[in-house]
């Protein structure tokens, strides 16, 4: 049984149907709503009050120069990508520990270990949230509840194409040209496949991943030049 929530009901149904198709016996509950709001979280938790697996993945803020961000912009971004997952962890982790099994995966950003003037909010917010999770992950693992992070780099998604489109218009190029140019800059020579990301997430959620906790796994094709 799985519960999915998202703001767009149409995209939500499409994703749910993709899960049902190969596994007809699975029960997929769709909850259309905004998880960054109290009402959205209440609806999701009402549909699935005792999850064994929690995947936090609210959409990130748009790129931009921090000089153009207002206080409301910052609060909205931090509420969505830091306070919301904290609230969801708080609402579910005790039940997981009582049942002696739980997997929490926070999908954050490669900005955890790099800095960018174009991605001001993730650069500031992601390390703070990562630090918070690192502390509690060491306390929950004794009850077989792990908390880890996945840090995506450039994956072939609508979000990446959206930023590519803006750049293409600015430079007078086609989207395909910009995307090809960007892909070549990555050591892998390509963007990540969303399926690759899903496989990594599935592994962290599995029963055999109980000895991995408080970790942040970077999936960026080798773009980050460090070793840790």
Residue recorded with tokens 């496949």: 193
pLDDT at 29: 96
b/e sequence 45-73, b meaning 16+ C-beta within 10 Å: beebeebebbbbbbebbebeeeeeeeeeb
How many CB atoms sit inside 10 A of residue 39's CB? 10
DSSP calls for 63-94: PB-GGG--HHHHHHHHIIIIIHHHHHHHHHHH
Q: What is the mean pLDDT of each run of 10 residues along the chain (228 residues)?
A: 94 94 93 95 96 90 74 86 94 98 93 57 67 94 97 91 91 95 96 96 98 96 85
DSSP assignment of 135-193, as one string? HHHHHHGGGTEEEEEEEE-SBSSHHHHHHHHHHHHHHT--HHHHHHHHHHHSTTSSPBP
Asked if 41 and 85 count as a contact pair (C-beta separation under 8 A), the reply is: no
Of the candidates 223, 219, 228, 151, which has an alpha carbon nearest to the alpha carbon of residue 187? 223
pLDDT for 123 equals 53
Indicate if the alpha-carbon torsion angle 161, 163, 165, 167 is positive or negative. negative
pLDDT reported for residue 185: 95
| Tokens 């960054």 -> residue | 36
What pLDDT is recorded for position 159?
A: 85
CA 220 – CA 190 distance, rounded (Å): 10
């Amino acid at each position: 049984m799985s519960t999915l929530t998202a703001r767009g009901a149409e995209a939500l149904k499409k994703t749910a149907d993709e899960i049902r198709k190969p596994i007809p016996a699975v029960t997929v509950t769709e909850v259309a709503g905004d998880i960054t709001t109290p009402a959205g979280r209440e609806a999701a938790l009402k549909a699935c009050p005792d999850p064994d697996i929690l995947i936090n993945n609210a959409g990130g803020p748009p790129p931009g120069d921090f000089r153009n961000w207002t206080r409301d912009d910052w609060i909205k971004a931090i509420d969505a990508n830091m306070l919301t997952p904290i609230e969801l962890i708080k609402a579910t982790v005790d039940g997981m520990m009582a049942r002696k099994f739980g997997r929490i995966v926070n999908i954050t950003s490669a900005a955890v270990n790099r800095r960018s003037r174009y991605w001001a909010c993730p650069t500031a917010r992601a390390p703070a949230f990562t630090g918070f999770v690192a502390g509690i992950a060491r306390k929950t693992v004794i009850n077989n509840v792990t908390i880890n992070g996945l840090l995506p780099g450039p994956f072939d998604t609508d979000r990446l194409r959206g930023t590519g489109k803006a750049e293409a218009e600015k430079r007078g190029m086609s989207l395909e040209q910009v995307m090809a140019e960007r892909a070549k800059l990555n050591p892998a020579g390509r963007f990540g496949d969303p399926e690759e990301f899903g496989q990594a997430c599935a592994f962290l959620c599995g029963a055999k991943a109980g000895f991995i906790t408080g970790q942040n796994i970077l999936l960026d094709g080798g773009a980050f030049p460090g070793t840790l």
